[in-house]
């Protein structure tokens, strides 16, 4: 049984949802064709920067997050690939946090970095020193909190608003 849209959806997400659904990129690339159902989760999410529009990942994830919120899910989790010690072809460790994903730091991960010693999460490191994370960050399980007004939404919605105001999202 579908959930009734939350107040958060009606006041903060509905307009963006409609705008993203009607975008030419969503209508062209997010048709639902070519999807293979062999489980109840997304197993891989790879985009080739030379074959897809630069905003496709942001649009696709924003639509997924909105759909998951509407379905009553509490979070979206994924392995944000790449980074220090991992395959450098993958950049999920630095892209997903920009869209609101977060994760705890590994024990001792920033203990030797005085200005980050107080940090316990990826988002705290990004707030203090985004360049450090870009150079020293690494692959890990990350989550997006779907609760209304969560830190995750507080990161994603302004990111989408900036992209929309600069014409990068339709």
Same domain, 31 and 58: yes
For residues 147 and 169, what is the distance between their CA atoms, to the nearest angstrom? 24
Q: At what angle do helices 14-21 and 56-70 cross, to 10 degrees?
A: 130
The pLDDT score that the predictor gives to residue 78 is 93
Query: pLDDT by residue (tens digit) across 82-120?
Result: 999 999 889 999 999 999 999 999 999 999 999 999 999
Same domain, 47 and 18: yes
For residues 108 and 116, what is the distance between their CA atoms, to the nearest angstrom? 11
**Overall domain count for the chain:** 2
Instruction: Give the number of other CB atoms < 10 A from CB of residue 141.
Output: 11
**Residue 104 to residues 7, 61, 121, 125, 151, Cα–Cα distance (Å):** 30, 21, 4, 10, 14
Range(s) of the domain holding residue 128 = 77-138
Q: How far is CA 9 from the centre of its chain?
A: 18
Same domain, 41 and 29: yes
For residues 35 and 31, what is the distance between their CA atoms, to the nearest angstrom? 9
Same domain, 94 and 123: yes
Instruction: Give the number of other CB atoms < 10 A from CB of residue 74.
Output: 11
Dig out the tokens for 7 from the structure: 């107040």
Q: Give the residue-averaged pLDDT of 144-156.
A: 96
Q: At what angle do helices 151-165 and 56-70 cross, to 10 degrees?
A: 140
Dig out the tokens for 110 from the structure: 């920033």
Give residue 25's pLDDT band: very low, low, confident or very high (50, 70, 90).
confident
Give residue 147's pLDDT band: very low, low, confident or very high (50, 70, 90).
very high
User: Does residue 1 carry a pLDDT above 60?
Assistant: no
Same domain, 93 and 118: yes
Same domain, 63 and 83: no
Asked if 126 and 151 touch (Cβ cutoff 8 Å), the reply is: no
Q: Give the residue-averaged pLDDT of 147-159.
A: 94
Tell me which H or E stretch contains 81.
strand 75-83
The better pLDDT of the pair 162, 127 is held by 127
Same domain, 89 and 69: no
Three-state SS at 10: helix
Tell me which H or E stretch contains 77.
strand 75-83
Query: pLDDT by residue (tens digit) across 92-101?
Result: 999 999 999 9
Same domain, 98 and 42: no
């Amino acid at each position: 049984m579908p959930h009734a849209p939350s107040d958060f959806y009606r006041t903060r997400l509905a307009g963006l949802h409609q705008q993203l659904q009607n975008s030419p990129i969503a209508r062209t690339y997010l048709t639902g064709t070519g999807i293979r159902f062999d489980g109840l989760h997304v197993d891989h999410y790879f985009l080739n920067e030379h074959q897809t529009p630069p905003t496709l990942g942001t649009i696709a994830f924003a639509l997924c997050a909105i759909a998951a919120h509407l379905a009553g899910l509490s979070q979206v989790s994924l392995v944000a690939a790449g980074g220090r010690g991992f395959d450098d072809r993958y950049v999920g460790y630095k892209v997903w946090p920009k869209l609101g994903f977060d994760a705890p730091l590994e024990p001792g991960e920033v203990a030797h970095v005085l200005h980050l010693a107080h940090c316990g999460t990826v988002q705290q490191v990004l707030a203090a020193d985004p360049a450090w994370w870009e150079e020293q960050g690494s692959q890990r399980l990350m989550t997006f909190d779907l609760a209304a007004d969560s830190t995750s939404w507080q990161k994603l919605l302004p990111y989408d608003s900036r992209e929309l105001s600069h014409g990068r999202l339709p």
